[in-house]
Amino acid sequence: MGLFDTLPRPTKTYHSKTYDRISPSASQFDGNGKTVLITGGSEGIGFSIAKSFAEAGVAKIIIVSRSAGPQADASKAIRADFPTTEVQTIAMSITDLQRVTEVMRSTNAIDVLVLNAVVVPQHDPGGAELEQEAVYEKTFFGNVIAPLHMIKQYIEQPSPKTKTIINISAASAHMDLPSVAKYGPFKAAFATLCQQLATKHNPENGVYIFSIQPGVFYTSSAKRAGTSETAFEWDDIRLPGNFVVWLSGSEGAFLHGRFLWANWDVDELIELKDKVAKDPTFLKLGLLM
């Protein structure tokens, strides 16, 4: 049993592993000629997403991250398995707004922007502490202001006509636990902001925006946060990559502006299409009394 599969959810089926229905080779996402930019794309969840888009046949993947070493390893691995996919690596932090502006203005025709890079504070089980304003400020900037700036630069690009934005959020956006007090609120804030942006920037003007909880994995970030490898039954790292490719295709378009879990069964989500259309609050972060 996984960490969150007993929580309330809109689908009966909860996946901890990838499954044939969301295989990139079976997806309605057409990767032909497309370019995908992934922040934090050299390791963990971001690398999973990069590999899934390569399997879907995209023409080019741009990996943005801070460290050149993992970038080189990721690029080599993708090229070895998918030699027809061009891989470009850019070493930068998304918190360097001037550098982000320069990169986005020089990199045109991005079809899918995946916001996966995060700023995670040092693990602290002590909860919210009023004396740590600097920690909150840094985490807010890295997880809200920086990705918002990247969205702005992306939407302002003259091409392509259709733009897809995938915000990789976290389960901690839903959680009221001391251990995530310095991280979860900012993931919730940005996911809520994406919902607001999706109201103005919508399919009518060629923009699709989604937020997802990718699953729970033992990544380098989890290790740095002090989490034990035996603490949980971790999800399959291929799950978020394949789910993101499916979501970027025509079948997932009706979920624009929604917050989704990669663990939710896509066929059961499709069965909820009418409810999504009729209820503007369904599958969104918020509280109705």
Q: Which tens digits make up the pLDDT trace of 129-169?
A: 655 678 778 888 999 999 999 999 999 999 899 999 999 99
Task: Out of 187, 208, 211, 248, pick the active-site residue.
Answer: 187
100 near 149, Cβ under 8 Å?
Answer: yes
Is the pLDDT confidence value at 33 over 70?
Answer: yes
Share of the chain above pLDDT 90, in %: 71
Specify whether the CB–CB gap between 143 and 115 falls below 8 A: no
Active-site residue, from 48, 65, 169, 248: 169
The C-alpha atoms of residue 244 and residue 211 are separated, in whole angstroms, by 10
Q: Is 223 a catalytic residue?
A: no
The pLDDT score that the predictor gives to residue 133 is 73
Q: Tell me, what's the pLDDT at 58?
A: 98
Helices in the chain by DSSP H: which ranges? 44-55, 68-81, 97-106, 133-140, 146-155, 184-200, 220-224, 238-248, 266-270, 273-278
Q: Is the pLDDT of residue 289 over 50?
A: no
* DSSP run (H or E) holding 65: strand 60-65
Domain 20-278, CATH class in plain words: alpha beta
CB 255 within 8 Å of CB 274: no
Q: How confident is the model at residue 31 (pLDDT cuts 50, 70, 90)?
A: very high
Active site residue 183: yes
pTM of the model: 0.91
* Token pair listed for 243: 């789910």
Catalytic residue among 16, 34, 52, 183: 183
Distances (CA, A) of 112 to 44, 120, 189, 211: 19, 24, 22, 13
Is a pLDDT exceeding 80 seen at residue 76? yes
* No. of helices (H) and no. of strands (E), the chain: 10, 7
Nearest Cα to Cα of residue 254 among 227, 225, 275: 275
Domain boundaries, the chain: 20-278
pLDDT beyond 90 at 251? yes
| pLDDT tens-digit readout, 83-124 | 999 999 999 999 999 999 999 999 989 999 999 998 675 655
